[in-house]
Amino acid sequence: MIEDWKKEIVVMVYVKQVLHDEDKSYFWPWHLPEVAATGAQLEEVEKHLGHALDLRYRLFLQHANGWQGFYQDVDLFGTSDLLGGGKMARALMFLDTIDDVLRESNLSKDELLPIAVSNTDIDFFVITRPNSVSPGMVIWFAGGEIERFSSFDEYFLCMVDHNRHMLTLAKQEE
């Protein structure tokens, strides 16, 4: 469990900065995380959703209200995205295309909340809502189910590792 979000966010910023410096083609976007969400913004999202946000995701949002290019070209949603808009619409469109995958995974759309989506590919991430058998789990989809993370914290730390792996690959190409 992440106890110090500031530290973990700084680690990710550092990894992404080094990756950006190694990416001579500037293929992947590089952005800093957004400024922390306010209590009012979080309450508005929870009212809109009709349920509380997962506590671990909520704690992240209290430190970074979303992050463009969080992993490759995948944007991690902030409060404005959770309220709707283009990124949410894109993620929901993808969610509507994987009925068979959801059946195989014993999941239903109403227990999934999109929290991240690629801008150019079919990757998207959801977190299971409080009404799920396993609330707070993050699932990565790209046509099919790619990976499950037991919590938002595990998802965040694994994305840091995925970015580190990309950095290793970039250095090998030199």
Over the stretch 140-163, which tens digit does the pLDDT of each residue have?
Answer: 999 999 999 999 999 999 999 999
Domain boundaries in the chain?
Answer: 5-172
**Local confidence band at 167 (pLDDT 50, 70, 90 cut-offs):** confident
Q: Within its chain, how far is the Cα of 32 from the centroid?
A: 14
Task: Please tell me the least confidently modeled range out of 17-21, 114-118, 127-131, 134-138.
Answer: 17-21
- Amino acid in the structure at residue 114: P
Give tens-digit pLDDT for 32-78: 999 999 999 999 999 999 999 999 999 999 999 999 999 999 999 99
CB 51 within 8 A of CB 129: yes
C-beta separation of 136 from 90 below 8 A? no
What distance in Å separates the CA atoms of residue 84 and residue 158, rounded to the nearest whole number? 26
Question: What are the φ/ψ torsions at residue 136 (nearest 5 degrees)?
Answer: 85, 0
Q: Residue 116 above 90 pLDDT?
A: yes
Separation between Cα atoms, residue 141 and residue 125, nearest integer Å = 6
The structure tokens listed for 167 are: 């950095």
Q: Which fold has domain 5-172?
A: SMI1/KNR4-like (3.40.1580)
